[in-house]
Amino acid sequence: MRSIEAMKIYIDGKYYDPKNAKISVFDHGLLYGDGIFEGIRAYHGRVFRLAEHIERLFYSAKAILLKIPLTPEQVARAVVETCRKNKLRDAYIRLVVTRGAGSLGLNPHKCAKPSVIIIADKIQLYPAELYHRGMDIVTVPTTRNLHSAVNPAIKSLNYLNNILAKIEAINSGCEEAIMLNAAGYVAECTGDNIFMVKGGQLLTPPLSAGALHGITRGVVMELARQNDMAVSEPNLTRYDFFNADECFLTGTGAEIIAVVKIDGRVIGNGKPGPVTEKLVAQYRQLTQVSGEPI
pLDDT digits (tens, 9 = 90+) for 125-174: 899 999 999 999 999 999 999 999 999 999 999 999 999 999 999 999 99
Q: At what angle do helices 215-226 and 274-289 cross, to 10 degrees?
A: 110
* Cross-strand pairs, 38: 95
Measured CA to CA in angstroms, residue 240 lies from 181, 206, 248, 259 at distances of 15, 14, 14, 14
DSSP string for 169-229: HHHTT-SEEEEE-TTS-EEEESSSEEEEEETTEEE---GGGT----HHHHHHHHHHHHTT-
DSSP bridge pairs for 186: 180
Mean pLDDT, rounded, for 185-211 = 97
How far is the C-alpha of 202 from the C-alpha of 249, rounded, in Å? 12
Q: Which of 19, 113, 155, 271 is catalytic?
A: 155
3-state secondary structure of 55: helix
18 HSE (CA, 13 A, CB side):
9
Distance CA 124, CA 247 (A): 21
What is the CB neighbour count within 10 angstroms for residue 118?
A: 25
- 94-138 pLDDT, tens digit per residue, is 999 999 999 999 999 999 999 999 999 998 889 999 999 999 999
The pLDDT assigned to 8 comes to 97
Are 249 and 194 in contact by the 8 Å Cβ rule? The answer is yes
Model pTM score? 0.95
- 155 labelled catalytic: yes
Domains recognised in the chain with CATH numbers:
4-121 (3.30.470.10), 128-289 (3.20.10.10)
**pLDDT tens-place string over residues 268-287:** 999 999 999 999 999 999 99
Instruction: Supply the pLDDT for residue 3.
Output: 67
- The whole-number pLDDT of residue 6 equals 85
Task: Name every residue whose Cβ is closer than 8 Å to that of residue 218 and which is 6 or more positions away in sequence.
Answer: 52
What average pLDDT does range 3-17 have in this prediction?
91
Facing residues of 180 across strands?
186
Give yes or no for residue 1 having a pLDDT over 60.
no
Torsion (CA) 59, 65, 68, 71 in degrees, nearest 10:
50
Q: How far is CA 52 from CA 29, 97, 119, 164, 232, in A?
A: 23, 16, 18, 28, 21
Query: 34 near 99, Cβ under 8 Å?
Result: yes
Q: Report the interhelical angle of 72-85 vs 50-63 (nearest 10°).
A: 130
Taking 90 as the threshold, does the pLDDT of residue 13 lie above it? yes
122-129 CB contacts, 8 Å cutoff, 24+ apart: 122/2, 122/88, 122/90, 122/91, 122/92, 123/92, 123/253, 125/191, 125/251, 125/253, 125/254, 126/175, 126/176, 126/254, 126/257, 127/175
DSSP 8-state assignment for residue 269? T
